[in-house]
A and B are shown apart, each in its own frame.
Chain A
Amino acid sequence: MGVIRFVLAGTLGIRDLPDLEPSLRALTGDQPVFIDLERAELIDTSIAWIILSTRKRLEEKGQCKISGASPNVARIIDTIASAIPEPEPSAKEGPWLAGFLGRLGSGVVNSGVMFARFAGVLGLFIVRLAQSVIHPREFRLTALVHQCEAVGLQAVPIVALMSFLIGVVLAFQGSAQLRQFGAEVFVVDLIAISILRELGILLTAIIVAGRTASAFTASIGSMKMREEIDAMRTLGIDPGHALVVPRVLALVLMLPILGLIADGAGLFGGALMSWLELGISPAMFATRLVDGTEVSNVFVGLVKAPVFAVLIGVIGCQAGLQVGKTAESLGKMTSSAVVAAIFAVILADAVFSIFFQQIGL
C-alpha cells in the first residue's frame, strides 16, 4: 500500500476547476493522500474549496493531509475552511396532493379576499361621494377635471376609430350574408341594433378597461410604493377624497359620452360601407334607421355605461392600493387589474342581457 501525493502547482483559478475536479473526485481514500501545495503560487476560493471538500470526504474513510502551503495560500484555505456553510434544513414541500389542495384553497380564499377589497373600495367611493355632497369643500374639482380629460377626452380618438372599424366590418360581413336572401336593406337594422345595444358600449368599456384601469393602478400604485399615500394620511388628506373619488367619478361621467361617440362612429362606419358596398344611400340609411330601430336600443346600451365605469374605476383603484413596496408588485397588480376589469365588464354585460330579456326590453 503506497501513499498518493497530489501536487498542485502554479496559479490556479476557477477556470481550472473543471479539469481538476474529476481527478480529485477519483481519489477513493483507500490509501493515505497528501495534497502538496508547495509549488502552488496562488489559488482562488474555488480551488481552496475543492481541496477542503476533498479532505473532508477522504477523512471519513482514511487519511488526507494538506501540506506545504505558502502563507498566502494557507490564508485563503483558512478563510474558506471557516466559511464553508453547514446545510440547514429548508422547509419541505408536502406531498403532491396536499400542495395542490393548498394552492386551490388559497386561491379560493384569495378571490374572496379580493372581492371583499373591491367591496371595500366601492364603499369608500360611495361614502366619500356622499360626504362631498354634504360638504362640497372636500370635493376636488380640479382633480376631477384633470381625470375627465385623461380618461375621456384623450380616449376619444381610439374609441371612435375602433367603433368606426367595427361598423365597417359589420356592414361588410352582414351584407355578404343578407345578400343571399335578397335582404340587403336589413343590414341597417343589423348594424344599428348590434352597435347601439351591445357592441358600442361593450367595446368602449373594454378599451377603457385596458387603458384606464391600468393607468389608475399604475398611478395610485406608484404613489403607494413611494409611501405617498401614507404621507397623505399623516397630513390629514383622505386618499378616498383625493384619489378614488375624482378617478371613479370622472369615469362615470365620461364613459356614457364615450359610448355615445362610439355609437355615432359605428353607425357612420356602417353607413359608409353600406353606401359603397350595397348602394344604400345615407338618406335611405337614416330613414331605415329611424323607422326600424327603436330608441330603447340606445337606452339599453347606454344605461350600462355608468355600471361599467364604476366596475373599471373601482377595480383599478383597488389594485393600485394593493401594490406593495416592490416594482414587481406594481407590474403584477397592473396586469391583474386589466384582466379583472375586462372580466367584470363582460360578466356585467351578461347579467344585463339576462335582465333586459326578463323585463322584455
Chain B
Amino acid sequence: MTDTVIEIRGLQNRFGSHVVHDGLDLDVYRGEILGVVGGSGTGKSVLLRTIAGLNKPSAGSVRLLGTNMQSATEAELDAVSDRIGVMFQDGALFSSLTVLENVEVPLKTIPDLRKETREDLARLKISLSGLPWNAGDKYPAELSGGMRKRAGLARALALDPEIAFLDEPTAGLDPIGAAAFDEVIRDLSRTLGLTVFLVTHDLDTIYAVCDRVAVLAEKRVLVTGSVASMAEVDHPWVREYFLGPRARAARGTIDARPAKG
C-alpha cells in the first residue's frame, strides 16, 4: 500500500539560459524519509522550493498530496500548505518574535483555538523538537545556530503536517548536535507517520535516518534506492560520494553504533 504523496513528472527549471532541472521524475511515498543528495549547484534546494510551491517550474508537473501545484486554485494551494511544513536552512524564524510566538504563528490559522491551548501546543512542539522550556521566551538572535534550526523545525511541525521539507537540517552543527537532530527527525517520522523530504550534504545524516536516497545529477534524479544499494550504482559521482573516504567513515560509525528502535 505505497501511497505516493509527491509525484514529479518531467520537471524542468531554468533561470535565464541556465537549466537546473530537465526531465526530472521523482516519487516520494508516505511515511518515508527521503534524502536528496547531489553536488553543489545541482538544484537540491531549487527542487525543494519547487515542490513546496515557492518556485514555478518552466515545464513539467508536480503533484503534492494529490494536488497539481501548477493548475491548483489559490484555495487549493492554501489547503495544501496547511498539510506541509518547511524548515529553511537557518530556521528563517521571524526575528521580531520570540521562539514561542514564532511557533504560534501557524497555529493562529486555526479558528476558535483558545489562547492558552495555543501556547501549550506551541510549548509542546518546542519540547518535541528538543529545545528546553526557556528557549521559548528567547528571540532568534539569542539562540545558537543549532537551536534556531530546532525552533524552525518546531514551527514547521506546528500544524502536524503530513510532509516535512527540511533544507540542510544538520549543516553547520557540531557532530553531537547533528546526531541529536538526526535522532529527533527519525523519532518524529516514526511516531507521527511523518513523510520527510530531506536535502542534505551530510553523509552521517543519510546513513542514520534516510530510508531512501535520491541522487541529483545531470539535471535529473539519476537514481533512487536504499542507502545500501547506492554502493552498486555505476556512476562516477555516486561512486565517489558513497564509496569515498568520508562515506566509509560515516558508514563505519553507523555500523558500530548499537542498533536502536
Contact = CB atoms under 8 A, between A and B. Distances in A.
Interface stretch (B110-118, B204-212, B245-253): B110-118
Contacts of A50: 117
B134 A88 contact: yes
B49 to A, nearest CB: 21
A18 B124 contact: no
Given A49-B121, A84-B127, A14 B159 contact: yes
B121 A46 contact: yes
Contact of B110 (A15, A76, A78): A15
Interface stretch (B6-14, B168-176, B186-194, B195-203): B186-194
Q: At the interface, is chain A mostly helix, strand, loop or mixed?
A: helix
B111 A76 contact: no
B132 interface: yes
Contacts of A13: 160
A17 interface: yes
Interface in A177-209: none
A53 B120 CA distance: 10
A88 B133 CA distance: 6
A328 B160 contact: no
Contact of B141 (A15, A44, A85, A326): A326
Interface string A3-35: 000000000011101100100000000000000
A49 B124 contact: yes
A32 to B, nearest CB: 25
Between B120, B123, B187, B191, the greatest number of chain A beta carbons within 10 A of the residue's beta carbon is seen for B191
Interface size bracket, A side? 20 to 34
A14 B160 contact: yes
Contacts of A134: none
A50 B116 CA distance: 12
Contact of B124 (A21, A42, A85): A85
B46 interface: no
B126 interface: yes
A87 interface: yes
B40 interface: no
A85 B133 contact: yes
A14 B159 CA distance: 7
Contacts of B120: 49, 53
B95 interface: yes
B112 A18 contact: yes
B95 A79 contact: no
A80 B124 contact: yes
Given A17-B110, A21-B114, A76-B191, A45 B128 contact: yes
A72 interface: yes
B88 to A, nearest CB: 15
A44 B127 contact: no
A83 B192 CA distance: 13
Interface string A62-104: 0000000000100110111001111110100000000000000
A239 to B, nearest CB: 24
Closest 3 pairs between A and B when the two form their complex, measured CB to CB = A85-B127, A18-B112, A44-B160
30 contacts: A14-B110, A14-B121, A14-B159, A17-B113, A17-B117, A18-B112, A21-B117, A44-B160, A45-B124, A45-B128, A49-B124, A50-B117, A75-B191, A78-B191, A79-B187, A79-B191, A79-B192, A80-B124, A83-B128, A84-B127, A85-B126, A85-B133, A87-B133, A88-B132, A88-B134, A90-B137, A326-B95, A326-B141, A327-B95, A328-B95
